[in-house]
Amino acid sequence: MRIAVFLGSSPGTERHREAVVGLAEGLVARGIGIVYGGARVGLMGLLADSALAAGGEVIGVIPRGLFAREVPHLEVTRLIEVDSMHERKAQMAEHADAFVALPGGVGTLEELFEVWTWALLGIHHKPVALLDPDGYYDPLVEQLDRMVAEGYLSAALRARLPRVRDVNELVDVLGGS
Q: What is the CATH number of the domain that holds 11?
A: 3.40.50.450
Compute how many other C-beta atoms are within 10 angstroms of the C-beta atom of residue 161.
22
Cα gap 94→124, rounded to integer Å: 10
Domain count, the chain: 1
Cα gap 176→100, rounded to integer Å: 13
| Predicted structure pTM score | 0.94
Is residue 156 assigned to a domain? no
Cα gap 37→176, rounded to integer Å: 21
Owning domain of residue 66: 2-135+161-170
DSSP-derived 3-state class of residue 61:
strand
| pLDDT above 70 coverage of the chain, percent | 98
Is residue 76 assigned to a domain? yes
Is residue 144 assigned to a domain? no
Pairing mode, if any, of strands 78-82 and 98-101? Answer: unpaired
pLDDT digit string (tens) for 93-128?
999 999 999 999 999 999 999 999 999 999 999 999
What's the pLDDT score for residue 137? 97
